[in-house]
Chain A
Amino acid sequence: GAGVSQSPSNKVTEKGKDVELRCDPISGHTALYWYRQSLGQGLEFLIYFQGNSAPDKSGLPSDRFSAERTGGSVSTLTIQRTQQEDSAVYLCASSFGTSGRRLGREQYFGPGTRLTVT
């Protein structure tokens, strides 16, 4: 089946503008994750959704960042009043969840959105 998709692929925005990044997880995956990858760095966890449970927002760097997941599927990451330090690649991943199933713990990643704040 189709993998994780993200849009847009690239986004250039002016400092102070709001942006929305979209993620479509793999069908049937109940868990969805957002990560940020800055130049030369590893991946930084941002937020996690699991089914209908309240999301874990502990990785969001500031209150300018928010995310929602509608109908347990598509997710949108919103960054308000963008700053230059928000420039990075934003990666979305999905998995079957954290039920402990041996085969369910791999996360499958989308191609990412490269955000450039000028």
Chain B
Amino acid sequence: AQTVTQSQPEMSVQEAETVTLSCTYDTSESNYYLFWYKQPPSRQMILVIRQEAYKQQNATENRFSVNFQKAAKSFSLKISDSQLGDTAMYFCALDPGRNSGGSNYKLTFGKGTLLTVNP
């Protein structure tokens, strides 16, 4: 079974500052994928960044980067130069990555971290 834990229900940051959201996970698979999704008040889930477990290099997408610690099963998201539009619920998600049938294609989500960017 896969689990994803986000231990910070809420966080806040001042505009232009940097914030890090935490995520830990557990899986017995080796070739899995990790994602961060953003859900603003509009409800639309937006993919922020993805990381393949086989890659040692941390993924980056503009102001968003991750710190992927495979041995520690940690996958934190760093948002640099925070903007008001970054205010949203952020979900960490795990794809176990197996190609075989069964339940291995389901994304397992954490409960989310509500990030508020203050002006």
Q: Once A and B bind, how many residue pairs between them come within 8 Å at the CB atom?
A: 52
Report the nearest A residue to B104, measured CB to CB.
A98
Which residues of B are found within 8 Å of A111, using beta-carbon distances? 42-44
Stretch from A15-23, A65-73, A101-109 contacting the other chain:
A101-109
Report the nearest A residue to B6, measured CB to CB.
A42
Which residues of B are found within 8 Å of A43, using beta-carbon distances? 91, 107, 109
B47 interfacial by beta-carbon distance below 8 Å:
yes
Contact between B103 and A107 (Cβ–Cβ < 8 Å)?
no
Which residues of A are found within 8 Å of B4, using beta-carbon distances? 42
B19 interfacial by beta-carbon distance below 8 Å:
no
Interface residues on B, range: 20 to 34
Q: Mark B43-76, 1 if CB is under 8 A from A, else 0.
A: 1111100101000000000000000000000000
Residues on A facing B (Cβ under 8 Å):
31, 33, 40-43, 45, 48, 50, 56, 58-59, 89, 91, 93, 98-100, 102, 105-112, 114
Q: 12 more A-B contacts (CB under 8 A) besides A91-B45, A98-B99, A114-B43?
A: A42-B4, A43-B107, A45-B106, A45-B107, A50-B105, A100-B99, A102-B52, A105-B33, A105-B50, A106-B35, A107-B47, A109-B45
* 23 A–B contacts, CB within 8 A, in A order: A41-B111, A42-B91, A42-B110, A42-B112, A43-B91, A43-B107, A45-B107, A56-B103, A98-B99, A98-B105, A102-B52, A105-B33, A105-B97, A106-B35, A106-B50, A107-B47, A107-B107, A108-B47, A109-B45, A109-B46, A111-B42, A112-B43, A114-B43
